[in-house]
Amino acid sequence: MSRRNRRIAAASLSVLAVAGLAACSSGTGGNADGPATISLWTHAGGNDAELDVVNGIVEDFNASQDQYVVEVQDFPQDAYNDAVVAAASSNNLPCIVDVDGPNVANWAWAGYIQPMGLPEDTFEGQLEGTLGRVDGEVYAYGYFDVALAMYSRQSILDDAGVRVPTLEEPWTKDEFMDALAKIDGLEQYDYALDMGTGGTGEWISYGYSPQLQSFGGDLVDRSDFQSAEGALNGPEALEWAQWFRGLVDDGYMAQTSGEDSTADFVNGKSGLLFTGNWADTTVKDAFDDAVVLPPPDLGTGPKIGAGSWQWALAEGCEEADGAREYLEFAHDTKYFVEYGNAVGLIPATLDAAAEIPAYAEGGENRIYLEMADQFAVVRPETPAYPFISSVFQKAASDILAGGDPRSILDKAVADIDRDIQQNGGYTS
């Protein structure tokens, strides 16, 4: 479907919506056939804790009014994007979708989702990384974010004789390398460090592009998102690539770690674990002396990824007003708290954090919130992101496997630039 057709469709829908409003205001109220159905899709299939929260919000909303009924359809995470793409290609999208943060710009560009149209002050006090913004407009909001962190044990760091880094004073690159050398010197672990290099897919971009950024490189030149030249193959990026592969060459890290880096850390195979804070509970349950460390400052300060799953209003929704009403209803501190309690990740608003003991000031998980606030860099907000990410995943794997960093990065840049150019710069 062409852009023009979509515009026409959108325009006629808004006419319908206006007509609907007029009908409401003229006093008929609601629909003669009963409440209108609003379908909602979520990626939380198989994740009962999160799904229960979604279902709870929907139940509350359905009970709160009698004009609309929201119906939930859940998908397992890995199947979700394909389902949305397939549905969009047949104009079968539901009214409300959830969308992974880095895909927001792409889906907005493709006309899958539309600006949410909620008042700007709705989002006050929300972590910026949990808002899906395109050209300043909010297309999506999320209830939580994830932080990248390092885990170790006090006893390991003490044995190795290295200081515990803090938010105010994270390890510098030299300190980090020194710590690795010392932990390696203990000869108690298969590897001093496990960065989850056995992971695949988006984990690679999410986990390692912040390190690239900490070196001063980036996935793409963010000034206009038209080229990756210089960002992904400049001297900083090369330095990152050499450092990254160097960790393998020095024997500090496996070229490909085990299937589950958290399990391997807990089973004593590594001394230092770099992963997302979803590992928090497993690690703390296993070790009384577990410590959470900020990622090292590799040059331009510590950096972590941002942007997890968020909710958005789909284009072509026939009950856009109802969907908007739901999204506004659901943006309630109460639900942010429920989400936070259920998934254990970082609540997206300060109000919610204050109500969750672990994330309140002085709470044991507060460090994640602080990191998300201070160190987070969202993945480039460009429709080109899915392509960029795919190219970066291959480049990072090739670098880890010992390929020549310069030619790998130059090829990645050429691929990305060609894609951007082929898509007319991704300008609509």
User: What minimum distance in Å lies between the beta carbon of 279 and other proteins?
Assistant: 7
Measured CA angle at 181 (ends 158, 175), to 5 deg: 75
53 Cβ partners below 8 Å, 6+ apart? 143, 335, 338, 339, 342, 343
User: What minimum distance in Å lies between the beta carbon of 376 and other proteins?
Assistant: 18
Cα 206 to Cα 394: distance, rounded to the nearest angstrom: 13
**Is 58 an interacting residue with respect to other proteins (CB under 8 A)?**
no
**Is 259 an interacting residue with respect to other proteins (CB under 8 A)?**
yes
Judged by CB under 8 A, the number of residues near other proteins is 67
Cα 58 to Cα 73: distance, rounded to the nearest angstrom: 11
Instruction: Write down the residue that tokens 């072509």 correspond to.
Output: 316
**Is 421 an interacting residue with respect to other proteins (CB under 8 A)?**
no
**Binder of other proteins out of 255, 333, 341, 374 (CB under 8 A):** 255
**Is 64 an interacting residue with respect to other proteins (CB under 8 A)?**
no
**Is 402 an interacting residue with respect to other proteins (CB under 8 A)?**
yes
Q: Residue 269 — φ and ψ, nearest 5°?
A: -90, -20
Question: What DSSP designation does 95 have?
Answer: S
**Is 419 an interacting residue with respect to other proteins (CB under 8 A)?**
yes
**Binder of other proteins out of 65, 282, 333, 374 (CB under 8 A):** 282
Nearer to other proteins, 351 or 415 (CB): 415
Which segment (11-19, 56-64, 81-89, 287-295) binds other proteins by CB under 8 A? 81-89
**Binder of other proteins out of 40, 58, 70, 88 (CB under 8 A):** 88
Strands (E), 87-142: 96-100, 113-114, 131-134, 137-141
Largest CA distance in the chain: 78
**Binder of other proteins out of 35, 45, 216, 425 (CB under 8 A):** 45
Tokens of 35: 């409440």
* Helices and strands in the chain, H and E counts: 16, 15
Cα 59 to Cα 13: distance, rounded to the nearest angstrom: 27
> Rounded to 10 degrees, what is the CA torsion of 341, 142, 197, 174?
-90
**Is 250 an interacting residue with respect to other proteins (CB under 8 A)?**
no
Tokens of 22: 């007029």
Nearer to other proteins, 162 or 312 (CB): 312
**Is 109 an interacting residue with respect to other proteins (CB under 8 A)?**
yes
Nearer to other proteins, 61 or 426 (CB): 426
Footprint of other proteins on 124-153 (CB under 8 A): 146
Footprint of other proteins on 1-30 (CB under 8 A): 2-3, 6
Measured CA angle at 318 (ends 312, 324), to 5 deg: 40
**Binder of other proteins out of 279, 353, 376, 420 (CB under 8 A):** 279
Q: Which residues of 282-301 are buried (b: 16+ CB within 10 A; e: fewer)?
A: bbbebbeebbbbbbbbbbee
Residue 187 Rama label (left phi>0; alpha psi -120 to 50; beta): left
**Is 319 an interacting residue with respect to other proteins (CB under 8 A)?**
no
Other CB atoms closer than 10 Å to residue 225's CB: what's the count? 21
**Is 107 an interacting residue with respect to other proteins (CB under 8 A)?**
yes
Q: What is the DSSP string of 43-56?
A: EEET-HHHHHHHHH
Q: Rg of the chain over CA atoms, in angstroms? A: 23
**Is 82 an interacting residue with respect to other proteins (CB under 8 A)?**
yes
Cα 41 to Cα 73: distance, rounded to the nearest angstrom: 5
**Is 397 an interacting residue with respect to other proteins (CB under 8 A)?**
yes
Nearer to other proteins, 83 or 291 (CB): 83
User: What minimum distance in Å lies between the beta carbon of 368 and other proteins?
Assistant: 14
Footprint of other proteins on 179-218 (CB under 8 A): 190, 200
**Binder of other proteins out of 16, 19, 79, 186 (CB under 8 A):** 79
Nearer to other proteins, 33 or 168 (CB): 33
Where along the sequence are the contacts to other proteins (CB under 8 A)? 2-3, 6, 41, 45-48, 73-79, 82-83, 85-90, 92, 106-107, 109-112, 146, 190, 200, 254-256, 258-260, 262-264, 266-267, 269, 276, 278-279, 282, 286, 386-387, 390-391, 393-394, 397-398, 400-403, 419, 422-424, 428
